[in-house]
Amino acid sequence: MSAARARRGTGPVALARVVLGLLMMLWIPQVRAETLAAPLELDEVLESVRRTHPGLEGAKRAVDERDALEFAARGGFDPKLAIRGKWAPVGYYPQGQIDALVQQATPVWGIGLYAGYRLGLGSYPIYKGDLRTLSGGELRAGVSVPLWRGGLIDERRAELRKARIAQKGARLRYDAEQLALERDAAKAYWSWVAAGQSLEVAERLLEIAEARDAALRDQVAAGSIPAIVIVDNQRLVLDRKAKVVAAELELQAAALDLSLYLRDDRLRPVRPGRERLPERMPGTRGDLGSLEDAVALALQQRPDALALAADREAAEVEVRLARNQRAPAIDLQAFAARDLGDGPAELRPTELGVGITVEVDLPLRKARGKHRAAQARAGRIDAERRALRDGVEAEVREAWLTVEAAAQRVVLARLQRDAADQLAEAERELLHAGSSDLLDVNLRERAAADAATLEIDALADYHSAHAELAAAVGGAP
């Protein structure tokens, strides 16, 4: 049996498995390399911000804190159990009592419910006869209904309502922090892309000068130009190499800035390499739509504006509570009780009863002071909301105008680049024909490179302005 297994293990099937395994080992690293070298898109950066940025961790902790406080506020409606016992076996009236009471506050008009059991055994003086029960004890239940103070609103319901509003406000502030980080990440991304594109322009300019060296040497050998022209071109090569080094440094600095928003699974910043640069920067987008619609949308969906509206809602809850607390406390009670077991006949009937309690704070200084403080807080938040509305409108309008101006700059820069490229190419042809000199060619090539860089910067500014506009309106870049 073991020999047969050995033969099967060295047969064609086993050989195929080995070959397949080797192919997989060769293929998987290649797939990983291709994945790592894939162009870095803005969506990947934004997703990294949402998952890993430490700035959102603090905002998330604030949300967790408000969730916990809302949970604690719900505890105001937890049932409460109280048990009291007393035993006095020695004395003129040997006696003992056990009293258990469960109280339940409700969110319905401040109504309170209770149910209890008590047992009173032994001897009692006549003025404490209400402590006596039959041998099986007494069951009782009741309800308390506030007629004025505590009816429309009370402290428990107000605390729960404010906790839920604060919970909503914390989530809105988390969204606001996320939008701000996404905006900054988008601007860092476009700066990185622009730095990479500018480096390519500098390298192309260097390649042109290096490629021209051989042609110039042929012309010197033919006697059509003096040898000093080769030295001048070598000077251009060195100058352009220095510009390439400066452009590489700018790309590294931009990658460092971008790494603050791009992190790996272990939350470490990742500096994207040059191999992850996109081939080209995308062009301008379509029509922006209506400016007034953008302003209206920003006021409706900006998280910071909505968070301030939540603060105003919480202040209104405080105003309502303080206003209600100035009213007298008039509570209506109803109860029922029945004794169980053996004992005196006067304790056997079921008891039913109603009562009323009136409580008035005569100067009302505490209630009036809290009411004035709540009104002042609401007024302060109203002023902050007006200022925020004005600021949001100005921010949206400024971002809108910046995007429009950047789009116009892109169009003009593109036309300028096309013209500069044509002039540089024509000047190179004149140099080849002997009708121009290296100085004019260098000026034309430098102008073409500057125009290309100007277009890159204009596109980067346009996309950064678009990120600013998206954040001003309250959306993702």
pLDDT of 6 > 80? The answer is no
Please count the other Cβ atoms lying within 10 Å of the Cβ belonging to residue 309: 17
Please count the other Cβ atoms lying within 10 Å of the Cβ belonging to residue 29: 9
Domain ranges of the chain: 81-147+328-362, 157-316+374-473
Greater model confidence, 369 or 214: 369
| % of the chain exceeding 70 in pLDDT | 92
Q: What is the pLDDT of residues 184-208, one digit of tens each?
A: 999 999 999 999 999 999 999 899 8
Q: What is the pLDDT of residues 387-442, one digit of tens each?
A: 999 999 999 999 999 999 999 999 999 999 899 989 888 888 887 777 777 778 77
CA distances from 111 to 152, 157, 198, 399, 476 (A): 11, 11, 72, 54, 47
Long-range residue pairs from 148-152, CB within 8 A, at least 24 positions apart, any chain: 148/327, 148/328, 148/329, 148/330, 149/324, 149/325, 149/327, 149/328, 149/329, 149/330, 150/110, 150/324, 150/329, 150/331, 151/109, 151/110, 151/324, 152/109, 152/320, 152/324
Domain boundaries 157-316+374-473, corresponding CATH code = 1.20.1600.10
Mean pLDDT of 344-365: 89
Q: What is the pLDDT of residues 22-31, one digit of tens each?
A: 444 544 444 3
Q: How high is the mean pLDDT of the chain?
A: 88
pLDDT of 4 > 70? The answer is no
Written as one letter, the residue type at 203 is: E
Judged on CB neighbours under 10 Å (0-12, 13-18, 19+), 152 is: middle
Q: What is the pLDDT of residues 8-61, one digit of tens each?
A: 444 544 554 544 454 445 444 443 434 446 899 999 999 999 999 999 999 999
Please count the other Cβ atoms lying within 10 Å of the Cβ belonging to residue 113: 14
